[in-house]
Every structure is written in C-alpha cells, then in structure tokens.
Structure 1
C-alpha cells in the first residue's frame, strides 16, 4: 500500500534533531501490534555467490538515462505476524519516498523487491533464496520474527556474502551472529528491565510462559536469570507454548496451580489474545497480576478482549524519541499518509531502508562485500550527525567517507556495534480502562 498525499518536504525532513532522550509509545494506531520478533540483524563481509558478485544499477526504460538499485526485503505479509508486516510496509514506503526524492549517486532510484515469509522460518528462507539466488540482491532487509531472521542468515545470506538488516527482530540470539545487523535493540536489556519491574512491584514468585521460538527462548532466559540469580526471586513455572493454538487453557491451569502472584506472558498478539480471553473466563485476571513485553501491545488485543480483562497489566516495550524533532516529523508524515499514528516498529523499518540507501551511496560498488564494509560506519558516532538521507548523501556526494557521517535514525541513534546491535530505548506501559498507557523511559 503506497503512501498517498505525503508532503515531500516533510518526508525529506524525517529525522529532526539529536536523539538525546528516551523513547515513545509502541503501537501503530489501529491495526498494528507492536510485537516481537525472533531475531534479526545482518551484514556480511564474506564473499559468496550472488551477494559477493558485482551488481550494477539497472537503467530504466524511461529514456531519461537514470538508473536504479534493487535490494530485497523479506517481510511477514501473511500469517500470524502479518499485522507487524503491515507496519513495516508503511515505514518502508515512507523511507523510499525520501530516498528517491534525493536520488542515489547521480540520481538513481532505490527499489525494493519484497517476498512474503508467511510468518514462518521456512517461508523466510524460501523468500530469501529467491531474492539472493535468482534476483541477485546484495542486501536484504528482514525479517519481523527473530527465528525467521536467524534462519535467513544461517541458510542464505551469511554464506552468500549478502548484507542482512533486520528491521524488527529483538531476540538476544541475533547478537551471536555478528554479520546480522538490526535496527531494533536486543531483547536482553528488555528482559532485565522486565524482571526488575515485576520484582519492584512486590512479586517474588512468578509464572512465565513463552512462545516456543528464538524470540521466546531468548527473552525468557534473560528474564529468569535476572529474576532468580540477581534479584533472588522464584520462577515457579517457566514453560513454552506453541504458536497459533486455538486454546491455551492447559497452560493457564498449570500456571494457576502455582503460588505465583504474577504471570509473565512472552508471546505474540494472537496468542496473548486467546490467553487473556480464557483467563478472563476463569477469573484468573483478578487473582494474579499480568506482565508482558512488546508483543503484548497491540490494538488487536484491545479490540478482541473484554473490558476489564487486562486492567493493571504492565510491561516493557521498545520505544522511540517521542520528544525529538526527527521522530515528530516522521509521525507527521505517517499520519498524513495513513491517518493513524505510527509506533517505533514502523520507525525501525524506515531506518533499515535509509541505512541501506546510505550504504549504497557510500560503497565503492554495489556488492555484498562493498556494502558490508560501510553499512555500520554510516551509523557510528564518530561522524557528523545527520538526520535525513538528504543530509547524509550530501556529505558523501561531496567526497566524504562513510565514517564522516553519523545517521541519527527516526527510531533513535542507530550506532551499530561490532555485533550489529543498536542501543536500546524502552518504555514502561500499563493497561488502564482497557487502553494502553505509556510511562517512564529506560535506556540500555
């Protein structure tokens, strides 16, 4: 769905001032769960088949002599993560508008070929294989789910020397794959913050259920380690659940059999919606306090659960610098295009596209190896702070090197480290009167 009626000057200003603060809310207006993911991040510096071979920009058929660069994107267009894929589509299209208004090099356009991962690891691998092996893209953005991003890295991009940038994946497991870059921060700091939040609220005994994939495993491990080893609490139940089930009553019954005073749900929007409804039917919501992470913030949850079923719930979610000019410009353009307010997840997708475009502008050639050698440099703090593709491209076109610029994303400072991870901004949220309320910020 392409953006419509967007003020181009607003788009070109989509980065604002410096990002000193913390972050803002995390839910994309009407249909966007602010979820999570499984793993993400990419980037490679090894040679390989298609990603390591030089790919030239293609001339268009307009007769104008301009050219285009095509990169790939694997996104969740169908399946249980599709609401998150929609938010990425919106952020991607806004970033493309801003990049192509300026042009890469002598005016080349950026194009993105998108494949659907169907919200599964195998679907992600299939899509990535088409983009890399058939289309020959040297850079791939994707995906939402952490497990999907990891599967793409392990099976496709790493050996092919293709740069990978996950827009949304948060699992700590991505950090163990240094060639996998990501725009959203690792969930490790979030897991620690969530454990502290629960403990500080007076809960010493908790029950945890987590979705059985890389996202759930990584976040639950950090939570349990912090809660027990560092805080001295007890995790009396710590078990996984499968994705896409019609009922989780057995899980809830087991959690209710413990002495836990708080239940922690590390899962996705669809699964949590089922759990909330079943917990409400059994009266569990009045007996224990609920906690969650970013994936349990979604308008679809509010819309499909009864009032009172989550009152008092709390959690930790990724956030954006709400009070900063660049984020405000992004919000204005987003609201103009889609008549709804974005969340940080769309901002991550926007930044993934912008960083990819800057890498193309900065690289000596359009190959995986060349792009990998500069993709992190354009984000690091040694260079001049720039807040839009236009500002950054002007320095590069004037002979500047990648290390001469420090792109400040609309989602916050990117500053990719040696593991391809950015710093993190988080925010505490709660549910009051069946609405999400966002409170204090946490910086990792």
Structure 2
C-alpha cells in the first residue's frame, strides 16, 4: 500500500527531556470491544523511505526503522484500524522526544488477517527491510505463523499487539502485549458456574485461537460439557451447529468465535426459537454483531474481554488524547498497540546497539518492577538519557503494568460485558 513521506527532523541537539513519574493504583478497567466491520485503513509511516533497519545506534542521524504486521484488510481489519490509531499516537509522542537524537520509523505491512499474508509481510520486513524489531500481529494463528516461519532462530524481537491464544505461551521468544486467553477461559468457567449452570454447550472457531480457549475452558470448568465442537469460518449458515447445541440439553451456550460467524449463529438460533443463556469470549463482541442481529436476541449474554485500567492517570490522558484525535474512545486493542511502540522505543534507547541481539536483552527489562515506575515514554527516556540503565526503568503502560513473564506473557486485566437492551454494558472487572 502507498505511504506518505514525511521529513525527518534531526534531534541530535534538540532532545526533549521532561521528568516526572507516577505510581497509580488500579481501580477499574475499560472494555476492549471493537466493531466488526471490514474496513481497509490507509496507514502512514513516520520516516523517509523503506530502508535497511540495521544501522547501529549513533552511526548516523537517520531514523531507527522497525516493522509492524497488522490487519489492514480482512476479517480482523476493525482491530487493525484501532491498532494503527494507537500506533500513530505513540509514534508521534516518541518522535516528539526522540531516541538518542533520532526518530523512530515504523514500516507497516498488511497480513490481510491471514497466516500466509502475515508470513509474507514479515518476510518482507525481516529479509528486505532488515528490521530487528517486529510488532505483529492481530490473531494468534497469524502471530504464531510469523514466529515459526520467519522469526524463530533469528535475533529479531517479535511483540504481538493482539494475540490471546494459549499456545503462544509455549513460545517464550514470542512476546505479546495482550493477556493470554487462559485468563478469559478461567473467568468464563467461574462466571457460568456462579450463574448456577452445571452443564454447557461449547462451539469454537476451528483454529488455534478457538481450540486453545475451548480446551482451557474445559480444563477449568467443573460442570459437564454437553457439547463441544468446532466450526469453520466464513460459512453462510451455522444452523447445524446451533441445532446440535440446542439438542444437547444444556441451558448455557458458550461461543468462542469471530463477530461475523457469531452474528449468523445468533440469527439462526433466534429464528428457530431456541432459548439459552449465552456466554462469549472477547472476539464475539462488536458493533457489527449488534447491527446485524435482532433486538432481544442476545439480551443477558455475558462476554469476557481484555481490558485496560481506566483509573490509571496515564490511561486517562491517553484516552483523552485519542478521543481528541479520532473522535471516539479507544479500545484496549488501541492501548496494546500504543504500548508496543513505546516498549520498542525504550528497548532501542536502552540497548548498546540497534541489533536484534541487543534488543533481546532490553525488551523485557524496560517494563520490570525493579526499576523506577514511569507512565510515559518521555519520563522513561529521561532516566535513560541521564545515565540510567535498563534496570532503572519500569514503564507502566496505558494498558496496565506489562512486566513480561518468562513465557513472554504480560499482566492482564479483564472486563465482564453484559448485553442489555441490545448494547454492551460493563458489569464487572477481573485482574489476572
């Protein structure tokens, strides 16, 4: 896709350094629901041309170039659009300060919301642009395919903005900003049990995301799984699936799928007169579902979604700036992408050189609790500019404390949404 060329300002003599750090208690969360429209988003990159990204730190005044694989088109493009807005806001703030007197440039490629598209995009970024740091991608299957086909066995750092599949935990070299779906599965099993249901019917999308969350739910749920079967994406009808769920006799139905598929299931269950208490993982919620299902067809449904802490001061500031820029409230997906950019920038500034090997040593450390808690790139950058080391910084993201564990998973927060009057209403919070 086309990219605008912008001038790069040489900040070797104009580094901005403003101190200030704050420790803010977590007292709430914000929903990460997204609309499900398939909208192609044109994306700007901050930089000159798509040049080699391996220039060592300090060797010239050009930008540090990293890559990003995102869903600009395809079934997950609504999430990609939010990613790009969070990315753009973070990139502007990073470049207002600068990294060692230089800008950060992000080369964005489209995964088309598919594994093969993600692999092709990542190959271009890693092999042609030679980026040492890769943000990507949306969708657990896409992110894992990129890691196994392109990143694994190299020094390139991969940090996924939107992947919750449980299997990513088995690949500690693949970092992610959004929490593992195991937290969702455990929360759903507890909610369904607390609601008094000892029997449930489960259908899940036939990929790594769906399979892993469904398996984790089964492991956590103490009741009986009356029905558990996968379904394929992009089918015109799921009448067989909802009929089998109804025949199972379970009064609680759990959907682990995507918005378009779920909307079709809701319509077919509603038109058939089936009645059950609906539950869902995060990917079933969105404006697209509300717009394409009858009022009353989902009332009472409970959905567990990843979340960001709303009472954290830096989140409030982020949300205000996001709304001013884009005219809408951010989602957690926007916050995850924002934090990916800031984490990458801090990793670059803290590293001895701009190589994957050096960044591997800093990317986890700049969000560790051992350092001074800071809530902005500017404050963290000042610590490093004043002679502080990687152990002196603990960046607290707008999506919450990050603190990657040994498996590359962050601290996670969840929100419970309930469908009331055909709209999503926040009804509770969960800290993983």
Residue 417 of structure 2: SS of its match in structure 1?
strand
CA-CA distance at 1:19 after TM superposition: 4.5
Partner of 1:90: 85
Partner of 1:184: 178
Residue 273 of structure 1: SS of its match in structure 2?
helix
How far does the alpha carbon of each residue in 1:209-263 deviate from its partner, in whole angstroms, 9 at most, with x for none?
0011111111111101111xxx2x1111111111121211111111111111111
Partner of 2:368: 380
8 A Cα contact 1:14 1:327, kept in partner: no
Task: Note if 1:81 corresponds to 2:76.
Answer: yes
Task: Note if 1:269 corresponds to 2:259.
Answer: yes
For the residues of structure 1 that align with 2:21 and 2:369, how far apart are their CA atoms?
16
Task: Note if 1:330 corresponds to 2:321.
Answer: no
Equivalent residue runs for 1:352-363 within 5 Å: 352-363=340-351
8 A Cα contact 2:36 2:289, kept in partner: no
Task: Note if 1:423 corresponds to 2:423.
Answer: no
RMSD value over aligned CA atoms? 2.2
Equivalent residue runs for 1:98-247 within 5 Å: 98-106=93-101, 108-227=102-221, 231=222, 233-247=223-237
Residue 189 of structure 1: SS of its match in structure 2?
helix
Query: RCO (CA 8 Å, sep 6+): is it higher in 1 or 2?
Result: 1
CA-CA distance at 1:356 after TM superposition: 0.4
Residue 152 of structure 2: SS of its match in structure 1?
helix
For the residues of structure 2 that align with 1:385 and 1:76, how far apart are their CA atoms?
32
When residues 118 and 245 of structure 1 are mapped into structure 2, their CA distance, relative to the original with a 3 A threshold, is same
When residues 218 and 240 of structure 1 are mapped into structure 2, their CA distance, relative to the original with a 3 A threshold, is same
8 A Cα contact 1:320 1:425, kept in partner: yes
8 A Cα contact 1:27 1:342, kept in partner: no
When residues 385 and 251 of structure 1 are mapped into structure 2, their CA distance, relative to the original with a 3 A threshold, is same
How far does the alpha carbon of each residue in 1:186-212 deviate from its partner, in whole angstroms, 9 at most, with x for none?
111210110110111111111000011
CA-CA distance at 1:132 after TM superposition: 0.3
When residues 236 and 337 of structure 1 are mapped into structure 2, their CA distance, relative to the original with a 3 A threshold, is same
TM-score (ref. length: structure 2): 0.90
370, 373, 395: which is aligned to 2:383?
395
- The alignment covers a number of residue pairs equal to 405
8 A Cα contact 2:205 2:256, kept in partner: yes
TM-score (ref. length: structure 1): 0.87
CA-CA distance at 1:139 after TM superposition: 0.5
Q: Which runs of 5+ in 2 are unaligned?
A: 5-17, 39-51
Partner of 1:260: 250
For the residues of structure 2 that align with 1:326 and 1:163, how far apart are their CA atoms?
26
How far does the alpha carbon of each residue in 1:7-27 deviate from its partner, in whole angstroms, 9 at most, with x for none?
xxxxx9999752533422222
8 A Cα contact 1:125 1:151, kept in partner: yes
8 A Cα contact 2:203 2:231, kept in partner: yes
8 A Cα contact 1:15 1:410, kept in partner: no
CA-CA distance at 1:66 after TM superposition: 3.8
When residues 31 and 14 of structure 1 are mapped into structure 2, their CA distance, relative to the original with a 3 A threshold, is farther
How far does the alpha carbon of each residue in 1:275-328 deviate from its partner, in whole angstroms, 9 at most, with x for none?
1111221122xx111000111221111112111111010021111111221111
When residues 116 and 307 of structure 1 are mapped into structure 2, their CA distance, relative to the original with a 3 A threshold, is same
Partner of 1:340: 328
